[in-house]
Amino acid sequence: MVNIIDIAKQVGVSPSTVSRVVNGKGYVKLKKREEILKIIDETGYIPNKAARNMSRGRSFAIGIVIPDTFNIFQRQLFSVIERNVDSFGYHTLFFFVKPEGVSEKACLNHMKSEKLDGVILLHELKDTLFYEYCADIKLPVISTICNHRHIPTVTIDDRQAAKEGVNHLIGLGHTKIAMICAGGFSFGNRRVEGYYEALEENGLPRDERRLVYVPQYTAESGMYGMRELLLRSRDFSAVFAASDELALGAMRSLRDEDLRIPEDVSLIGFDDIDIADYLHPRLTTIRQPIREIGEQAARYLHRVITAQQGTEAEVVLPHRLIIRDSTCTPVDKTAQ
Amino acid sequence: MVNIIDIAKQVGVSPSTVSRVVNGKGYVKLKKREEILKIIDETGYIPNKAARNMSRGRSFAIGIVIPDTFNIFQRQLFSVIERNVDSFGYHTLFFFVKPEGVSEKACLNHMKSEKLDGVILLHELKDTLFYEYCADIKLPVISTICNHRHIPTVTIDDRQAAKEGVNHLIGLGHTKIAMICAGGFSFGNRRVEGYYEALEENGLPRDERRLVYVPQYTAESGMYGMRELLLRSRDFSAVFAASDELALGAMRSLRDEDLRIPEDVSLIGFDDIDIADYLHPRLTTIRQPIREIGEQAARYLHRVITAQQGTEAEVVLPHRLIIRDSTCTPVDKTAQ
DNA sequence: ATGAAAGCGCTAACAT
DNA sequence: ATGTTAGCGCTTTCAT
């Protein structure tokens, strides 16, 4: 592989000069610059990243922390973030945290070994070591989901969004509303809070049996959650699923029991993932502004890294209720 | 940040000794080893990746090439591959190729700047430069999808799989079968070949108007594809979608026209992505053995990198027809 | 505007 | 079994 010294020799200049034109720093006489560029092009020279990172002491890379079994919402966010980070001239390095407990530590060590310029969380890390590390070395972090730690975030107001979703159901006339949620993450807890708050504010009883927790934000979990709900009691006319994938799984269990959506049971999801509008029935849901979240997260990091001002630490973006076909006025079964 | 020299000093040994225990190479007296480990643990020392890569001249990383808007099938494959590559002790580096034409070259340059140990393709690169580069520097590559270049692959037999899918439809009694496919990739072409072959072998006419090409393997494209098909003529009783996401979009267009699946139109997909079994109706499809593909690809690379023998260059894995609820015997409309 | 030289943190060949 | 030494390829003062 050709290196910077080869180029320097071929052109008859010093490596520093080549470095200058490659990095666009400092002055190099036009003619020399062109000669160098020509040789670089001919030889196909590409600077060695490792060497560059070492001498610069950093990597110009942003770490993206995401579960290795990321869901559709995370996938969409992921793409948006990658593009945005890229547009600011950084590379992205992915840190997949696996469900096994050990993984967070392994992930942290991996992060330490790279000299990251910043990290974006698409996943809530439990281990406080991570947050301490960031604080320690002043590594900028931002979370795109509600986080239990006090760190910069770009999110929606999960509690309020959930509340509006449930209020939509209540507005339709539902009074017995169940909820399926995956446990273990702050954003889920917020959505549960919103759910309860909507009930309370409307004078509706809070029945613990109508809230079921499942292990993950997947269709499979949604299916089991719905099944469990149905097993406990059929005394509800609407279900709020804490994510669209949960809702997708719930749909299946509902159909398995020959319950029609929305006639027998109204269903509302959360996120508005790309396929939500392709399901049958089309899923009513609460949209997260994925593009904005990704843009803002990338922009925030860029501002902090380049030490610019105007870096609010907490951005709350607007969500939006998207009414489709999976919710309707409840049909009075006793009247049937 | 603490480095290897700090550790060496604190313990009172040379950096090489520390390096030996960190990398588990060479002999170090047990007592010394323990002392070193203790200090490493206390200080939280993690080797600097850039420095390590530079002195070793390689990165112990595998590049994963994938479109930045990767679909569900690719996402699943992606996770499996990441886990497997990880289990062999390599890191994964992602190279997102964006739809814009320029991107493949940028992607290649990025790859060149890292000293990869191998590359896994989840996407068919058009630019021959990439293949030349790999051949040039003897960089091991493997594709997990059918590729137009003669390179090692771990795939299913797309042509045969498609044929079996169409044969399933024919076996059910369908004679007018349409197909939706996204253009531009070898695997799609193979599936079209299989489609035509099934028709021919069963003495069914080949009608170009029943094959529609769409831009991407997405639900959105599937929706447009189906709409187009319907616009051209309603004279078909079954549709073969070249991917499950295409099928998902097709379902929506079918419903928009009040056509029932499968009573009015049978629909078969391809891939068997995780949500295929959650759709309504549950999607009949051809399963790709995602786990095996990922495992074999990672294993192949590991074998080649460690210069082991027994590295066949082309592995064809078994697919499987998964019959669910989106296909059935055609209903004779004229008889209705 | 350009070159010389030092150094980033680590590994590995060599010496002992 | 351990230390010494020489790089790996680049950037970056510091001179000139």
Convert the pLDDT of each residue in A280-296 to its tens digit: 999 999 999 999 999 99
Residue B254 token pair: 């079918």
CB within 8 Å of A105: residues ≥ 6 apart: A127, A129
- Residue B331 CA to residue A298 CA, distance in Å, equals 54
Closest chain A residue to B138, measured at CA: A1
Q: pLDDT for B176-197, tens place per residue?
A: 999 999 999 999 999 999 999 9
Q: Would you give the distance in Å from CA A161 to the centre of its chain?
A: 16
pLDDT of residue B332 exceeding 90, the answer is no
pLDDT tens-digit series, residues B294-325: 999 999 999 999 876 666 778 999 999 999 99
Please report the pLDDT score of residue B273 as a whole number. 98
Contact call for A280 and B279, based on CB within 8 A: yes
- What are the structure tokens assigned to A200, written together? 């309370």
At B102 the pLDDT is: 75
- Give yes or no for residue B107 having a pLDDT over 90: no
Burial of residue A31, with CB atoms counted within 10 A of its CB: 0-12 exposed, 13-18 middle, 19 or more buried: exposed
Interchain contact, A279 vs B280, CB within 8 Å: yes
Please give, one letter per residue, the 3-state secondary structure of B55-91.
HHCCCCEEEEEEECCCCHHHHHHHHHHHHHHHHCCCE
Cα distances (Å, whole numbers) of residue B279 to A56, A251, B168, B276, B324: 51, 9, 20, 6, 10
Q: How far is the CA of A29 from the C1' of D16 (A)?
A: 17
pLDDT band at B207 (very low <50, low <70, confident <90, very high): very high
Instruction: Flag if A279 and B274 touch (Cβ within 8 Å).
Output: no
User: What confidence tens digit (pLDDT) does each residue in A210-225 have?
Assistant: 999 999 999 999 999 9
Q: Is residue A84's pLDDT more than 80?
A: yes
pLDDT at B106: 87
Give B96's contacts in chain A (Cβ within 8 Å). Answer: 82, 86
Closest CA to A185 of A273, A67, A278: A67
Inter-chain touch B115–A48, beta carbons under 8 Å:
yes
A309 pLDDT band (50/70/90 cuts)? low
Q: Which nucleotides of C are covered by protein (CB under 7 A)?
A: 1-5, 7-13
Q: What is the distance between the alpha carbons of residues B117 and B303, in angstroms, rounded to a whole number?
A: 12
Percent of chain B with pLDDT over 90: 87
Please say whether the beta carbons of B158 and B198 come within 8 A: no
Q: Is the dihedral of CA B300, B304, B306, B311 positive or negative?
A: positive
- CB-nearest to A248 from B93, B252, B278 is B278
* Interface mutation vs chain A, best among B132, B280, B326, most A CBs within 10 Å: B280
Taking only the tens place, the pLDDT of each residue in A122-179 is 999 998 999 999 998 889 999 999 999 999 999 999 999 999 999 999 999 999 999 9
pLDDT band at residue A334 under the 50/70/90 scheme: low
User: CA B56, C1' D1: Å apart?
Assistant: 23
Using alpha carbons only, what angle is made at residue A73 by residues A68 and A74, rounded to the nearest 5 degrees?
35
Question: Residue B105 has what pLDDT?
Answer: 87
Q: Is the CB of A289 under 7 A from strand D?
A: no
pLDDT for B335: 46
Q: Which residues between 54 and 73 in chain B have a beta carbon less than 8 angstroms from any beta carbon of chain A?
A: 54, 59, 68-70, 72
Please answer whether residues A248 and A221 qualify as being in contact, where contact means their C-beta atoms are separated by less than 8 angstroms.
Answer: no
Q: Give chain A positions within 8 Å (CB) of B132.
A: none
A91 SS3 class: strand
For residue B153, the one-letter residue type is T
Supply the DSSP symbol for A321: E
Asked if pLDDT for residue B104 goes beyond 90, the answer is: no
Query: Which of B117, B251, B275 is the best mutation test for A, with the most CBs of A within 10 A?
Result: B275
Round to whole Å and give the CA distance between A160 and A162.
5
Query: All domains of chain A, ordered by start, with CATH?
Result: 4-55 (1.10.260.40), 61-156+290-318 (3.40.50.2300), 158-288+321-330 (3.40.50.2300)
Q: Is A115 on the interface with B (CB under 8 A)?
A: yes
CA A14 to C1' D16 (Å) is 15
pLDDT surpassing 80 at residue A97: yes
Q: Which nucleotide is nearest to B23 (CA to C1')?
A: C11
What part of A 273-292 touches B (C-beta under 8 Å)?
A: 274-275, 277-280
Mean pLDDT of A198-214: 97
Res A20 pLDDT > 80? yes
Per the structure, the residue whose CA is closest to nucleotide D13 at C1' is A16
Q: Does B140 touch chain A (CB under 8 A)?
A: no
Give residue A310's pLDDT. 60
Other Cβ atoms less than 10 A from the Cβ of A321: the count is: 15
Region class of B254: left (phi > 0), else alpha (psi between -120 and 50), else beta: alpha
How far apart (Å, rounded) are the C-alpha atoms in residues B20 and B5?
Answer: 13
Collect contacts of B51-55 with beta carbons under 8 A, ≥24 apart.
B51/A50, B51/A54, B52/A113, B53/A50, B53/B115, B54/A48, B54/A50, B54/A51, B54/A54
A114–chain B nearest CA distance, Å: 6
A252 near B CB under 8 A: yes
pLDDT of residue A329: 97
Do residues A246 and A214 lie in contact, with contact meaning Cβ atoms separated by under 8 Å? yes
**At residue A268, what are phi and psi to the nearest 5 degrees?**
-130, 140
Measured CA to C1', the nucleotide nearest B52 is: C10
User: Who among B54, B59, B251 is closest to A54 (CB)?
Assistant: B54
Condensed to tens digits (0 to 9), the pLDDT of residues B3-45 reads: 999 999 999 999 999 999 999 988 899 999 999 999 999 999 9
Protein residue at shortest CA distance from C1' of D2: B17
What is the SS3 assignment for B6? helix
Mean pLDDT of A41-64: 94
Residue B176 near residue B236, CB atoms below 8 Å: yes
- Are B250 and B256 within 8 A, CB to CB? no
Mean pLDDT (whole number) for A221-248: 98
Residue A68: pLDDT band by 50, 70, 90 thresholds? confident
In this structure, how many other beta carbons lie within 10 angstroms of the beta carbon of residue B183? 12
At residue A336, the pLDDT reads: 44
Q: Which two tokens stand for residue A234?
A: 């059929």
Find, in chain B, the residue whose alpha carbon is nearest to that of A247.
B278
- Is 80 exceeded by the pLDDT of residue A312? no
Give the pLDDT confidence score for residue B336 in this predicted structure.
44
What does the pLDDT average to over A292-310?
A: 88
User: Does residue A66 register a pLDDT over 70?
Assistant: yes
d(CA A332, CA A264) in angstroms, rounded, equals: 9
CA B182 – CA B245 distance, rounded (Å): 11
Q: Which residue has the tokens 């193979």?
A: B190
Tell me the two tokens of residue A4. Answer: 């910077």
Cross-strand partners of B118: B62
Say how far B40 CA is from D4 C1', in Å.
23
